Structures are given as C-alpha cells and as structure tokens.
Amino acid sequence: MNAFCKNIPDKTFEKLNHNGEFTRLAVSPGIINKHYTPAQFQTIAKVVGETGAIKYSASYSILVSIPTVDVAATTKELQDAGLYVATKQGPIVAMKACDFCDGDKMEAAPITQQLYHSLEGIAVPTRLRLNVNGCASACYNPVYDDIGLVYQKDSFDVYLGAVPMGANAQAGTLFAKRVAVDRIESFLHEIISLYNEHARPNEPFYKFYRRTNSADYWKM
Ligand code: SF4
C-alpha cells in the first residue's frame, strides 16, 4: 500500500523542469465549484500525456506539468473543457472561496464573482490570498488566509493578519465586522492600496499588517 511508504514520485515538476522545458499550471473546476467531471479528468490526463505530471495541491487545485511549448494550446484545451486555469502567477491578489455548500448556499456568490473580477491579479509586494466563505461556519478556513471574508446576511466580517503557514502559523483577527456587501469591494481596494503604499519590498501581508496596524491610516 502506497499511502505512506511510496512518496518518491518519478516525475516532480523540479525533476522535469531542468531547462524550463516544463510549465506548471494550476487547474480547478472554478473558484467556487470544486467538482470535476469525468470528461474534465480525461482532458487533464490527455494534456499531461506520458511526459508530464499531475499533483494535487493545498490550494484547491490540481497542478499539471506540461511542455512549455504547448502552454497556450493546452490552456485553451483545459478552458474549453470548462476548467479554470490560474494564468496569473507571482505577487498578485489571488482569490479562493468555499464551495457554498456545493451550490446550496449561493447568497454570496454574485458578490464573490464581482470581487474576483475587481481584485484578482492586482500586483502587490508578496502574493496575497483572499478567501471568501459563504457563512459563519467558515469551513474553508478563511481566518488562515491573508484576508479572510466571512459572509453573514448582506455583510462580511473581515479578518486580517493571519500567519498562513509555518511553525508559528496563527489565525487572523477580526478587523471589521459587518461590512455591507455594497461597501466590501471599495473596502478591500483600500486595504490593498495601503499594502502597496506602505509595505517594505517583498514584505508579506501579515508582517506588514502586524507592523503597521496602529497607524492612523488603518482607521477606515
Ligand atoms: S463556509 Fe458555509 S457556505 Fe461555505 S461551504 Fe462551509 S458551510 Fe457552506
């Protein structure tokens, strides 16, 4: 049984990618949707073929390593299969969301989509993860992301300052309670602008927030 004893894959991205011949794409069914169809899995298997590699990640996506020369065509093939390909990498705002109870609790889905179009991809000093959860159960752990949003009846509680990983990982703290749905987009833009304006080069968001949170400009 391979659950524990065989964890030495033949084809990691690092092993494949000696000279930039391979590119890694993060693929998922969507920002909210977490269900793949069999046809989508077949498409993933087809584009990876015998040469590439497939790995699941901690960020609700599957990582596929594919030949760099095929990136444009492969991205299109995956998108044509209805898959979401995170095409923007690096130090940007990257959005995550819960699955909204597999579509049963979609009250916050429209504003989540609006936030995605407004915020995803904004350049920041260090990659900033924004996690939207659709109710107070907060079961996709938004308080452990840089900015955690927990929806509750036409408003969001906003958590900041989490140390997302490492031995000193820590949940964020409640920064603002009940920010109205029609205010949340500009509210988040203000936070991201503060980060861009006042952070040190490459300073992670939690360090920036913990270093500056007594400054007047946080009185929003
Ligand atoms: S956070 Fe709430 S809405 Fe989202 S999946 Fe969990 S229970 Fe459902």
Ligand 1: which residue has its CA nearest to atom 6?
139
What is the CB neighbour count within 10 angstroms for residue 145?
Answer: 27
How much is the pLDDT for 8? 63
Q: Which domain CATH number covers 81?
A: 3.30.70.250
CA distance 175 to 147: 10
What distance in angstroms lies between residue 217's CA and the mean position of ligand 1's atoms? 32
Asked if residue 133 and residue 64 are part of one domain, the reply reads no
What is the Å distance from ligand 1's center to 187 Cα?
23
Which residue ranges have their beta carbon within 6 Å of ligand 1?
98-101, 105, 133-135, 137-140
Q: What is the pLDDT of residue 6?
A: 64
Residue nearest to atom 7 of ligand 1 (CA): 137
Q: What is the pLDDT of residue 17?
A: 86
End of a domain among 33, 61, 86? Answer: 86
Protein residue closest via CA to atom 1 of ligand 1: 138
Q: For residue 192, report the distance from its CA to the centre of ligand 1, in Å.
A: 25
Q: How many domains does the chain have?
A: 2
The atom number, within ligand 1, closest to the CA of 102 reads 5
Q: Which residues of the chain have pLDDT under 50?
A: none
pLDDT of residue 10: 75
Are 98 and 71 in a shared domain? no
| Res 90: pLDDT | 93
CATH code, domain with 184: 3.30.413.10
Edge to edge, the sheet with strand 53-56 lists 53-56, 62-67, 22-28, 84-86
What pLDDT is attached to residue 195?
A: 98
Domain range enclosing 128 = 93-218
Place of tokens 């590439």: 52
Atom of ligand 1 nearest to the CA of 97: 4
| Together in a domain, 55 and 143 | no
Looking at ligand 1, which atom is closest to the CA of residue 105?
A: 3
Indicate if 129 and 209 belong to the same structural domain: yes
Distance of CA 11 from the midpoint of ligand 1 (Å)? 35
CA-proximal residue: ligand 1, atom 8 (nearest): 101
Give residue 114's region: left, alpha or beta (phi > 0; psi -120 to 50).
alpha
Q: What is the pLDDT of residue 1?
A: 58
Could you give the angle at which helices 181-198 and 109-119 cross, rounded to 10 degrees? 30
134 Cα–ligand 1 center, Å: 5
> Are 122 and 152 in the same domain?
yes
Q: Pick from 132, 128, 122, 123: which is nearest to 181 by CA?
A: 132
| C-alpha 143 to ligand 1 mean position (Å) | 14
Give me ligand 1 centre to Cα 153, in Å: 13
